[in-house]
Amino acid sequence: MNDLRISWQDLRQGKIIVVDKPLGWTSFDVVNKIRSVLRRRFDLKKIKVGHAGTLDPLATGVLVIGIGPATKKLGLLQADDKTYEGLMRLGASTPSYDAETEPERVFSLEGITEAQVLEVARSFVGQIEQYPPLYSAVKQKGRKLYEWAREGEKVTVKPRKVTVYSFDIQNIMLPDIQFQTTVSKGTYIRSLVHDFGKKLDNGAYLLALRRTRSGNYSIDQAVDLKNWIKQNEI
């Protein structure tokens, strides 16, 4: 096992670590856990810890964490392009655009061909406009969209311009499709998948997502969170 222990020097000078975010954890859960472990270990009341780019609870993979003065770098790192591997399911749509909520509409897959799937994937490459999911942390009128959505309130959401650098279909096994995509800051993969289904005159939602790269940081550099906690606990 590699030495993952944080030193006093790391706290003073700042430290960037790359965590493989576990399934079911929010990005804040990871930050909060790392902060609490370090506070206990070094007997400090406050330690700055932050992350560069939120991952949904149902997503895993690269989460760049800044500790101490390194948190000042997170704004720049958050702007980096990111690469994801995902699994979408055709034939249905959900309010959250992923498996967090139950399907609200069901569609027939009859007539959908491999050629159509590949053509739709190519059509997303470049600068596009997309709407953030209603079940997201984007703020509208001072509240997060998911707060409005869970109360059944409808709000008007403005689209945002993002860039899709690549959208490669890796495997088609209907109703599921494996894909890899590299996108700019602020791109919602859930929205990309939802819009993918609409372009096929069908429905689609995200089943699984793994971030494999954020800027210069890749999944090969990521540490297992449980191992990190074990080496840094008192």
Write out the catalytic residue numbers: 56
Number of residues that this document lists for the chain: 234
b/e map of 57-87 (b: 16 or more CB within 10 Å)? ebbbbbbbbbbbebbeebeebbebebbbbbb
- Give the integer Cα–Cα distance in Å for 122 and 99: 25
Name residue 127's amino acid.
Q
Q: Torsion angle of alpha carbons 144, 190, 60, 217, nearest 10°?
A: -90
Cβ burial of 111 (10 Å; 0-12, 13-18, 19+) is exposed
Nearest to 192, CA basis, from 86, 63, 81, 78 = 86
Report residue 43 as tokens: 């007997």
